[in-house]
């Protein structure tokens, strides 16, 4: 797929991948072998009929291809951009054994983008016509991230009256506050998915904090027959390193929320304050770390380093994101870990002391744990540090709902076959159940719960 050149894209927040033309998409689709036992489908958490939609695209029938995708996937334009296809659907493609697998994610993105101008009832559901909404079949979703949007789309397309409650002032959850514009455009993609849901009479209530401005019992008192909890896991983790409280040290959650949701990247049209560091260090090796580092480059940093205790090959981030970051000038400072953040003359963050690491002997699983190299400590100048080492469950809703059973990590326990929690007719899915994971896994959990709710409501 064509991309913006690295030297050009580091100066803007436009989408990096430019998309296929029709001819390019058809040519790629024609590579599919149409396997009788497609492993690609087994690798997809929402079980998209991949060979069928690719066959339709190979015949240039975009509408048919879109209908096939939408039969199981509510948000294909989003999934085609942010899902780790290389370890899921494309990981099962037989062509990948000796060469490049079919670019399933890019084809999914192409189909969705081509079809986006169509009727909203086609866009968001797998039903050909908008249903009559039955106000007696009332369902509430807490949170407006990918799991809740999946539930809302599935149930609304079957005639349920769905209300989505969002704590923030914009809709989309992590799709809006966590993923940068250059990976997932907000107005072009996320807003269109939300607008299509509104066409299906899904009601959205902003600035509504579950556990504070309302509770689950309030929703049932208002006539809801079922409630879905999709509030994510947005509480940041820190490293407990001395100096983490210095000005200039951010959690990735705050840094990316300021830039993405607060539109700090679009100054002066949006006057959200953000530190535009000259020498930036990001700690972690996942997609969030890549997002933070690539964002800092676009905000004008002269030097951006990702500090990681292991090697590049061990980074959990998508290979494409790692490659894009390196192309854009991000330095991978591997086998290093922070010991202390130190202030400069102005009292703000000035340097970081780093411990050189090495990999020890493999454990029973074959994984080699990092260990300090004795007496090998060094310093780096840094006026902006971003901690991207994971998240945990936000307790705001959970502390106010003692009836919800939680596991030892503080996440909601659910029935793995239905998504139902310990509270009857209260379901949950996504990161608040699994911990930080992918968009497509959250959508799969939403689809599982929505099916059970639809069965109970008779729709």
Backbone angles phi, psi at 136, to 5 degrees: -75, -25
Q: Token pair of 234, please? A: 């947005």
Q: Token pair of 218, please? A: 């309030």
- The candidate with the shortest Cα–Cα distance to 223, out of 449, 457, 459, is 457
Nearest-5° Cα angle at 206, 422 to 155? 55
pLDDT at 389: 95
Distance CA 455, CA 139 (A): 13
Backbone angles phi, psi at 228, to 5 degrees: -115, 130
Distance CA 178, CA 437 (A): 13
Question: CB–CB of 34/18 below 8 Å?
Answer: no
Report pLDDT digits (tens) over 70-123. Answer: 888 888 899 999 998 998 999 999 999 889 999 999 999 999 998 875 544 555
Task: Indicate the helix (H) or strand (E) that contains 150.
Answer: helix 146-156
Distance CA 347, CA 247 (A): 8
Partnered with residue 338 across adjacent β-strands are 354
**Is residue 204 classed exposed, middle or buried when 0-12, 13-18 and 19+ CB atoms within 10 A define those classes?**
middle
> Taking the CB of residue 185, how many other CB atoms lie within 10 A of it?
18
Question: CB–CB of 16/106 below 8 Å?
Answer: no
Computed over every residue of the chain, the mean pLDDT equals 92
pLDDT at 200: 84
CA 174 to chain centre: 6
Question: CB–CB of 218/397 below 8 Å?
Answer: no
Task: Indicate the helix (H) or strand (E) that contains 123.
Answer: helix 120-124
DSSP 380-434: EE-SEEEE-S-EE--HHHHTT-TTS-B-TTSPBP--TTT-B-SSTTEEE-SHHHH
Q: Token pair of 395, please? A: 């307790």
Distance CA 60, CA 66 (A): 11
> Taking the CB of residue 19, how many other CB atoms lie within 10 A of it?
16
For the chain, list residues with pLDDT below 50: 119-120
Task: Indicate the helix (H) or strand (E) that contains 175.
Answer: helix 174-177
Q: Token pair of 453, please? A: 């709710």
Q: Token pair of 239, please? A: 């490293």
- Whole-model pTM over 0.75: yes
Distance CA 428, CA 444 (A): 12
* Contacts with 364 (C-beta within 8 Å, 6 or more apart), sequence order: none
């Amino acid at each position: 797929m064509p991309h913006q050149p690295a030297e050009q894209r580091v100066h803007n927040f436009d989408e990096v991948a430019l998309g296929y033309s029709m001819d390019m998409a058809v040519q790629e689709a024609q590579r599919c072998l149409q396997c009788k036992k497609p492993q690609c489908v087994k690798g997809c958490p929402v079980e998209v009929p991949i060979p069928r939609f690719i066959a339709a695209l190979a015949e240039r029938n975009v509408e048919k291809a879109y209908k096939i995708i939408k039969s199981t996937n509510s948000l294909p334009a989003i999934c085609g951009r942010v899902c780790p296809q290389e370890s899921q659907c494309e990981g099962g493609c037989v062509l990948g054994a000796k060469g490049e697998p079919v670019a399933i994610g890019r084809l999914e993105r192409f189909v969705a983008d081509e079809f986006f101008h169509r009727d909203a009832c086609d866009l968001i559901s797998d039903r050909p016509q908008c249903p009559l909404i039955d106000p007696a079949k009332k369902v509430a979703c807490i949170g407006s991230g990918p799991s809740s949007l999946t539930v809302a789309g599935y149930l609304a397309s079957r005639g349920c009256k769905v209300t989505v409650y969002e704590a923030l002032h914009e809709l989309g959850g992590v799709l809006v506050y966590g993923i940068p514009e250059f990976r997932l455009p907000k107005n072009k993609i996320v807003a269109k998915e939300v607008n299509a849901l509104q066409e299906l009479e899904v009601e959205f209530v902003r600035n509504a904090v579950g556990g504070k401005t309302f509770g689950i019992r309030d929703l049932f008192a208002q006539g809801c027959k079922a409630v879905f909890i999709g509030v994510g896991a947005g509480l940041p983790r820190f490293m407990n390193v001395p100096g983490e409280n210095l000005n200039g040290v951010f959690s990735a959650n705050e840094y990316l929320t300021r830039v993405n949701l607060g539109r700090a990247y679009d100054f002066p049209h949006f006057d959200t304050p953000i530190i535009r560091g000259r020498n930036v260090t990001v700690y972690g090796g996942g997609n969030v770390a890549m997002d933070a580092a690539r964002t800092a480059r676009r905000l004008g940093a002269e030097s951006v380093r990702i500090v990681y205790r292991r090697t590049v090959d061990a980074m959990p981030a998508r290979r494409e994101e790692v490659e894009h970051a390196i192309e854009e000038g991000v330095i991978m400072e591997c086998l290093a870990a922070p010991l202390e953040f130190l202030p400069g003359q102005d009292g703000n963050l000035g340097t970081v002391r780093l411990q050189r690491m090495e990999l020890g002997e493999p454990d029973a699983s074959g994984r080699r744990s990092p260990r300090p190299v004795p007496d090998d400590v060094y310093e780096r100048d840094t006026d902006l540090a971003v901690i991207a080492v994971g998240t945990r469950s936000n307790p705001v809703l959970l502390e106010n709902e003692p009836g919800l059973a939680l596991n030892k990590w503080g996440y909601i326990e659910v029935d793995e076959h239905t998504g139902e929690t310990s509270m009857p007719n209260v379901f949950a899915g996504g990161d608040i159940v699994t911990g930080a994971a992918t968009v497509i896994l959250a959508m799969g959990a939403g689809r599982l719960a929505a099916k059970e709710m639809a069965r109970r409501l008779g729709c």
